[in-house]
Amino acid sequence: ECSQQLDLKKLLSVSMDGPNVNWKFLELLQEELREQYEGRQLIVVGSCGLHTLHNACKGGFSVWRLEKVLKAMHVLFHNVPARREDFITLTASAKFPLAFCSHRWLENLPVAERALEMWASLTMYLDAVRTRKLPNPGTASFDTLETAQKDPLILAKLHFYIAVTRTFAPFLTRYQTDEPVMPFLATDLAELMKSVLRRFVKREILKDISPLQLVKLDVGDKNNW
């Protein structure tokens, strides 16, 4: 019924954010198009591609458990005035961690940047607790940060996460729109993949590579590094 007053010949695209009700709408719309236009239908390219990118980022960084560290930083000081006062008095800094969003990994750039910015102050706080100059919070978040502090690569991991999210930012901005940008997706996605792979793969290998060759590239082959 919702499409009866629409001229479907002018339909360019149907966008969705993932819920099943959107898939049902698309299914019904496809049936109507098939009946009205001799079997012609819309090209189905899946649900929200941005969510796919967020989940891909989550899958890639899950081995480092950065999510747990960034969440712990925020939880440790969130809504705890006495602890925040101790931190400010000790470090002379009033900057605190930002909240981490678990389902939008690529939009947590400000969270990671703030964590990197205040890591030295956080280390000072952890050391003060360890030497009993400040009370021990006795929380799981504090234990998580103590473990992270012992990781010699924690700052490198944060830097790399920031670099990747900055790489994806223009793509997210361009495709978070109602405009019909589907014709440009393949080219832009291939360039996005190459921009990430250039950190590991020899540039001459990626120079004239086609999208099909790109998805078949063996990144585990040491000869490509």
Helical pair 154-175 and 109-117, crossing angle rounded to 10 deg: 150
Dump pLDDT digits (tens) for 141-170.
Answer: 999 999 999 999 999 999 999 999 999 888
pLDDT of residue 18: 60
Domain spans, the chain: 1-47, 63-161, 178-225
Going from the C-alpha of 179 to that of each of 101, 123, 174, 187, the distances in angstroms are: 26, 46, 9, 17
Dump pLDDT digits (tens) for 97-156.
Answer: 999 998 888 889 999 999 999 999 999 999 999 999 999 999 999 999 999 999 999 999
Q: What is the DSSP letter of 163?
A: H
Which tokens sit at 85? 């006062």
SS3 of 61-124: the string is HHHHCHHHHHHHHHHHHCCCHHHHHHHHHHHCCCCCCCCCCCCCHHHCHHHHHHHHHCHHHHHH
